[in-house]
Amino acid sequence: MSEPHIHESHPAIIKRLKRAGGHLAKVIEMIEAGRSCLDIATQLQAVESAITQAKRTLVQDHLDHCLDEVLGDLPTERRQPIDEFKQITKFL
């Protein structure tokens, strides 16, 4: 079995996903209670935003740390395409 793969950002990601889980449970309650579609859509937007941000944080953290581990002490001129790739992914 491999060692746990834990990053500094993981606790914040977990917190965000738990919050999204709470929002999702609220959405289900709202639908069951017959709440307005606007209210439900607003809560669904909160769920979607929380999950999207958690995913972005996880992917960016992976690129920033795991990729650097693999590259090691690669010379600057050889790292440039990777560094640019890491920068451009922030726009996704």
Summarised one tens digit per residue, pLDDT across range 3-17 is 777 888 999 999 999
Expressed as residue numbers, the domain containing 34 is 10-91
User: Does residue 2 fall inside a structural domain?
Assistant: no
In a domain, 84, yes or no: yes
State the CATH number of the domain containing residue 46: 1.20.58.1000
Amino acid at 88: I
Q: What is the average per-residue pLDDT within 14-25?
A: 93
Determine the Cα–Cα distance for residues 10 and 58; give it in Å rounded to an integer. 8
39 in a domain, yes or no? yes
Is residue 1 scored above 70 in pLDDT?
A: no
Mean local confidence (pLDDT), 66-86: 82
Task: Assess if residue 5 is contained within a domain.
Answer: no
Q: What whole-number distance in Å separates Cα of residue 8 and Cα of residue 26?
A: 29
Residue 1 lies in a domain: no
Q: What is the pLDDT of residue 14?
A: 95
CB atoms within 10 A of CB 3: 5
Measured distance CA(82)–CA(74) in Å, rounded:
11
Number of domains in the chain: 1
pTM (2 d.p.): 0.75
